[in-house]
Amino acid sequence: MKTNKSVIYWLLSGCVLLFIMVTVGGITRLTNSGLSMTDWHLINDTFPPMSEEKWAEAFEEYKKFPEYQKVNQYKDFQLDDYKFIFFWEWFHRFIGRIIGIVFIIPFVYFLIKKQLDAATIKKCFILLGMGAFQGFLGWFMVASGLKDMPDVSHFRLAIHLTFAFITFAYTLWVALDLIYPERKLPVVELRKIARIALVILIIQIIYGGFVAGLNAGLIHNHWPLMSDGQFFHESIQLEQSNLLLSFTEGKSGVQFIHRTFAYVVVFSILYLFIKSRKFILDKTQDNGVKTLLVFVFIQFLLGIFTLLFHVPLWLGLAHQIMAFFLLTAMTFSLHRFSK
């Protein structure tokens, strides 16, 4: 780190908080906790109910919505069960509030102290907008599960998840601009490959959101083939009226895309690594692409085991966390090949 250490630490702390936010979001999804809070208030929801009376009121309110009426009331779902799912959704939102405070207050301070150059100020305003939009996407997602269906839209979940990843990547990029202020010639060929690999990775993250939203990891728990020893299982064409709908709304079709596209992710990063061996790289570039290669193989294995073991909480969460690490390595590598 050359200069602006406090600004760099501030941005990196934002990256850490975003990582925690997405991790808790993963727990929230895997424990089916996301619809436990049926309203949103900026101030009133800051802390959970502080008395048994307030808990009882919140539980009675929850009973008015589809998740309880169509699912949980048939599972002997009691107040203690409600407190458990409430905690994870509340904690998820609470971290969002913390992120807002951690971003806005230091940002104003750095502006007053004139510790930000014009380019960084512009990037920070973009981050501010991204954070606000992410909050909207969170409620937009939750709202889809409070009307008729006892679950959120998998499209909205995927948008919410993917935009969180993108916000993290952009925050890291802004920090890297300050960590490595010197300018050098980009490695054009590797930058191009890395950009394509990043797009491929984001598509895979989107489909990871689809799989999570549809609980599509709970079927075809076999590898390398799907059920009945089929590569392209017959159920893919039976779930929806056409392949486009099957690949976006059908459980079998969405899982097929996610499990098959994983090979494309691995190949794109392996190709980047092989191509990089033909260049004289500095230490950061070399470490970045090597880390990227290690991470993608770990992620590939985690995906296989998550599927084979029917998505246990710890494996599903590890798979999501590793996706975060993979995106981190991809962002770092692309930055080092670009500037």
CA angle, residues 24, 158, 297, in degrees to nearest 5: 75
For 301-313, write each residue's pLDDT tens digit: 999 999 999 999 9
CB 323 within 8 A of CB 205: yes
Rounded-to-integer distance, Cα 169 and Cα 93, Å: 20
In the block, residue with structure tokens 């969405």: 254
For 74-105, write each residue's pLDDT tens digit: 888 999 999 999 999 999 999 999 999 999 99
Q: What is the DSSP string of 263-312?
A: HHHHHHHHHHHHHHTTS---HHHHHHHHHHHHHHHHHHHHHHHHHHTT--
Q: How many CB atoms neighbour CB 314 within 10 A?
A: 10
Q: Give the E-state strand segments of the chain in sequence order.
A: none
Residue 110's pLDDT band (cuts 50, 70, 90): very high
Task: Give SS3 for 117.
Answer: coil
For 230-271, write each residue's pLDDT tens digit: 999 999 999 999 999 999 999 999 999 999 999 999 999 999
Residue 3's pLDDT band (cuts 50, 70, 90): low
CB 172 within 8 A of CB 127: no
CA 309 to chain centre: 22
pTM of this prediction? Answer: 0.94
Residue 44's pLDDT band (cuts 50, 70, 90): confident
Helices (H), ranges, the chain: 5-30, 52-62, 66, 79-112, 118-143, 154-179, 188-214, 235-239, 243-249, 251-276, 283-308, 313-338
Q: What proportion of the chain, given as a percentage, has pLDDT over 90?
A: 91
Calculate mean pLDDT across residues 10-31. Answer: 96
Q: The tokens of 68 are what?
A: 């309880």
Q: How many CB atoms neighbour CB 35 within 10 A?
A: 25
Q: The tokens of 127 are what?
A: 């981050």
Residue 297's pLDDT band (cuts 50, 70, 90): very high
CA 111 to chain centre: 30
Rounded-to-integer distance, Cα 210 and Cα 75, Å: 26
